[in-house]
Chain A
Amino acid sequence: MTTRPDSRARLAGGLLLWYGVLGGAVAWAVHLLVAWPLDELTCAAGSEKISAVPLWQAVGLAVVLPGLVTAGSLAVAALAWRRTARAQSAGVQDPAFGRSRMLAVVGIWANLLFLTIIVLGGVAVLVLPACQR
């Protein structure tokens, strides 16, 4: 950390921080926009299968993948928080550290919330028959 990171690393770092902050939110949005219409429209068409795949498995996939993305986002936010906190306690004076540290804190808690929502949806997939009204 003695030399300044090059432009590629800085771009990657900046994007990585935003992934840590908003990754869970985006993953949850995708989860909702895929899982809900999948269930509602397939059931409305009177079937419990999407071509050969049982509906509950397809919906389950729309739970597991966003869940993993959110977990990754949580890890990145935690990493960003630790790195910036350490840099600050090492006495590096850069106001940007304070900003990115706050965003990392927001990211950690937000990802925990979104992970909880996705997991609760996953529980419902296991418990409820896909088309029960």
Chain B
Amino acid sequence: MTDRGGVLAAATGAEALSTELPVGRSTGWWGMVMFVATEATLFACLLGSYFYLRFQYGPQWPPDGIEDPKLLKPLVMTAVLLPSSLPVVWAEHGIRRGQRWRLRAGLTATLLLGATFLTLQATEYAEKLKHFTMTTDVYGSLFYLITGFHGLHVLVGLTMIGWLLAASLRGGSFGAHRHDRVRNAAIYWHFVDLVWIAILFTIYLSPRL
């Protein structure tokens, strides 16, 4: 108890309260964080619109003729996409120590996982398009806009990853002193991953609640 009291007293002292936080970030980091913030707001508006339209629609959701989304494939997609952040983290830590092979290996692994995700999404679309399309009703519009928009973000993220991989394979691009671009692309990729969880909940899980 005394120890915790000591920490509390120290934390509320003038000096601790005047700690500079955040500190020492690069301009590129702030730029990417702000970009992700505005993108996250866009997704928040998108998912907010989903719930707004859903609750205005009435008790039957998805509307007549469309069954609840199946869970197996989205869960597999989640299992593919979420772990894809780990190789990026590993690669980033590697290049910070100047280990170029870790950067290359990690980026390749993420690239493969991300491409698998998009392939799975394409097969899911092929199946769903037989039942309903973007123009069927507002549920179809929402489903394809939200998942398609996220898929587009995955594609953009993959382009970034592929671009990093190409630059690192050329050589002379990244090292212990130059890894800003790796970290910035990693931030974007983590964001794309996290948004998927919100989409999984909104599109696939919430109709079952």
Contacts and interface: CB of A to CB of B under 8 A. Distances in A.
A1 interface: yes
A44 B10 CA distance: 51
Interface string A91-133: 0101011011000100000000000000000000000000000
Interface string A48-81: 0000000000000000000000000000000110
Contacts of B163: none
A100 B21 CA distance: 11
B16 A97 contact: no
Interface of B: 7, 10-21, 51-52, 55-56, 59
Given A1-B14, A45-B55, A10 B7 contact: no
Q: Give the contact-size bracket for chain A.
A: 20 to 34
B7 A16 contact: no
Contacts of B18: 13, 17, 84, 94, 96-97, 99-100
26 contacts: A4-B15, A5-B15, A6-B10, A9-B11, A10-B15, A10-B16, A10-B19, A11-B19, A12-B7, A13-B10, A13-B11, A13-B16, A13-B18, A14-B17, A14-B19, A14-B20, A16-B16, A16-B17, A17-B21, A37-B51, A44-B55, A83-B13, A84-B17, A92-B14, A94-B15, A94-B18
A84 B14 CA distance: 5
Interface of A: 1, 4-6, 8-18, 37, 41, 44-45, 79-80, 83-84, 86-87, 92, 94, 96-97, 99-100, 104
Given A18-B21, A44-B55, A45-B55, A8 B14 contact: no
A54 to B, nearest CB: 19
A6 B16 CA distance: 9
Shortest 6 CB-CB distances between A and B: which pairs?
A: A13-B16, A14-B21, A87-B14, A9-B10, A14-B19, A12-B11
B20 A13 contact: no
Contacts of A10: 11, 15-16, 19
Given A10-B19, A18-B21, A97 B14 contact: yes
